[in-house]
Amino acid sequence: MAVGRESEPSGPPKQPGAAASPQDLELVQSCLAAAPGAWDALVGRYAGLLAHVVDRTAAQRSRPLTSADRDDLIADVLVELLKNDAASLRGFAGRSTLAAYLTVIARRVVVRSLCREVQAALPSRSEEHTSELQSPCNLVCRL
């Protein structure tokens, strides 16, 4: 072992840029503390990212969106961040960038919403012939 290496932590090396910036951590904490303008700052900073994720996720599932559909899905993502006393936002631990964290949440919200639309369009079947695991949409939603 080389001199000076005894105090280095073991484990995988940290990748540059993998953790949240101090500005992101401060923004999340400000939102959780209901600081004036914090929510508007978060939405202003990440609205473009959320729109991109919504559009890309829908396109990957061959689902064209109107601008109203996209706006509704973005609103659903924002509601997800705030529901249950902002549980999703409180779950941000800073181990990733805030952009990456919001991307994962947005994709999950969009996929769930698109799955619900597909399920609603399917003809209903009796429960004895369909289990939760037999629905292809339920399997996709779990991924």
pTM, 2 dp: 0.73
User: Which tens digits make up the pLDDT trace of 46-91?
Assistant: 999 999 999 999 999 989 999 999 999 999 999 999 999 999 999 9
Does 44 score more than 80 pLDDT?
yes
Q: Closest by alpha carbon to 113, among 65, 67, 41?
A: 65
For every residue of 23-39, which 3-state class applies, written as one string? HHHHHHHHHHCCCCCHH
CB 103 within 8 A of CB 53: yes
Mean pLDDT of the region 22-45: 96
CB 88 within 8 A of CB 79: no
DSSP-assigned letter for residue 122: S
Encoding tokens for residue 106?
Answer: 């947005």
* 19 pLDDT tier (thresholds 50, 70, 90): confident
The HSE-up count of residue 52 (CA atoms within 13 Å, CB side) is 10
User: Which tens digits make up the pLDDT trace of 122-132?
Assistant: 776 555 454 55
